[in-house]
Chains A and B, each alone.
Chain A
Amino acid sequence: MTMSLVQTIEVGSGGANSVEFTSIPQDATDLLILMSARHQDAGLEEGELTFNSSASGYSTRLLQGSGSSVYTTSTSSAAFCKTTFVTDSAATANTFSNIAIYIPNYTSSAAKSISIDGVTENNATAARQTILAGAWTGTAAITSLKIAIFSTLKYAQNSSFSLYKITKA
């Protein structure tokens, strides 16, 4: 099968500062992570994606629209690859951000590229839609990945993270 689910992690009561996929199978070509996430505190924050417990070599460049303005920024040589914004507690109840993270050639011995699309959800005029280009200088195959939320904040209960593997012809 070309595309198959590896694992889904759903946050339980009490929340979680991070989720981690370990022992990622090395028998496919690309990885796709789909996030439906909300965090427990007020204020938009971004997820923090790392591979193989590495805390160096991440770069990003993003474009974001808020409904009233457009914004672009970048990071380099950072400790993590930022994801797009995660819906916060001030947003409409029961709304979660939708984020897709695509990582091609995750088992290769070359540096890794990352493509992220995300949108916060809110029953109001203020929401954020973001596209992001990421890179990791690491040349090891990706065997684990963690997506944390800023500092000591926590993903809210019912946030879900699904990891898929995709195999080329």
Chain B
Amino acid sequence: MSYTAIASQTLTSSAASVTFSSIPTDGTYRDLVLVINATVSGTNTTPTFTVNGNATGYNQVWAAGNGSTTGSSSTSADAKFYLSYYNNDTTRQQHTIHFMDYSVTDKHKSVLIRSDQASTGTTMSAGRWANTAAITSITLLPQSSGSLTWSTGSTFSLYGIAA
């Protein structure tokens, strides 16, 4: 598996959201990998993301551990994907989102997500966006709802894996 860099964003000021748009769908890449290394402005957050500005059809299952207890849960027909099972704090967090077959139009879109924050826990999850549209944009929020922001210095790097 070899990555090809598509786009990246390094925040020079805080931001309420980060969006990658105009993602190529000409078949050059089969999969996408989005690597996030970030801090947020407040505690008790679970970062989220949506695709194509769409707020329906997100299904997800998680397994996670926080050093004391393990957890597992699922959602269906939700308005977004969630990166972490646990609420995060303001220390550095790291997420990797793998979008498989993101540009094809004959299947729902599958994602595999790893989320880590050494102070709060580690999470793995699998998700399905119940939509056959090609993914052309991804929007990341630092929390499900509220006024928190991604902090200065946070990085978001999008890579493609060739077909």
Contacts and interface: CB of A to CB of B under 8 A. Distances in A.
B119 A62 contact: no
A114 B92 CA distance: 10
Interface residues of A, number: 35
A104 B123 CA distance: 17
A30 B157 CA distance: 10
Interface in B51-103: 63-70, 91-94, 96
Counting chain A CB atoms within 10 Å of each CB, which of B64, B66, B67, B124 scores highest?
Answer: B67
B83 to A, nearest CB: 12
Nearest to B6: A169
Nearest to A109: B153
Q: Is chain B's binding surface mostly helix, strand, loop or mixed?
A: strand
B158 interface: yes
B35 A169 contact: no
Contacts of B68: 72, 74
A168 B124 contact: no
Given A61-B67, A61-B121, A167-B5, A131 B114 contact: yes
B118 A133 contact: yes
Interface in B34-63: 35, 37, 63
B3 A3 contact: yes
A116 B63 CA distance: 15
A71 B159 CA distance: 33
Contacts of B92: 110-113, 135
Contacts of B8: 29, 168-169
Given A72-B66, A104-B37, A60 B118 contact: yes
Interface string A44-79: 000000000000000111111000001111100000
17 contacts: A3-B2, A59-B118, A61-B122, A63-B70, A63-B122, A73-B65, A102-B96, A104-B37, A105-B37, A112-B92, A113-B117, A113-B118, A131-B116, A133-B117, A133-B122, A168-B155, A169-B7
Interface of A: 2-3, 29-30, 59-64, 70-74, 102, 104-105, 108, 110-115, 117, 131-135, 166-169
Q: 5 closest Cβ contacts across the A-B interface?
A: A74-B67, A72-B65, A63-B65, A133-B116, A135-B118
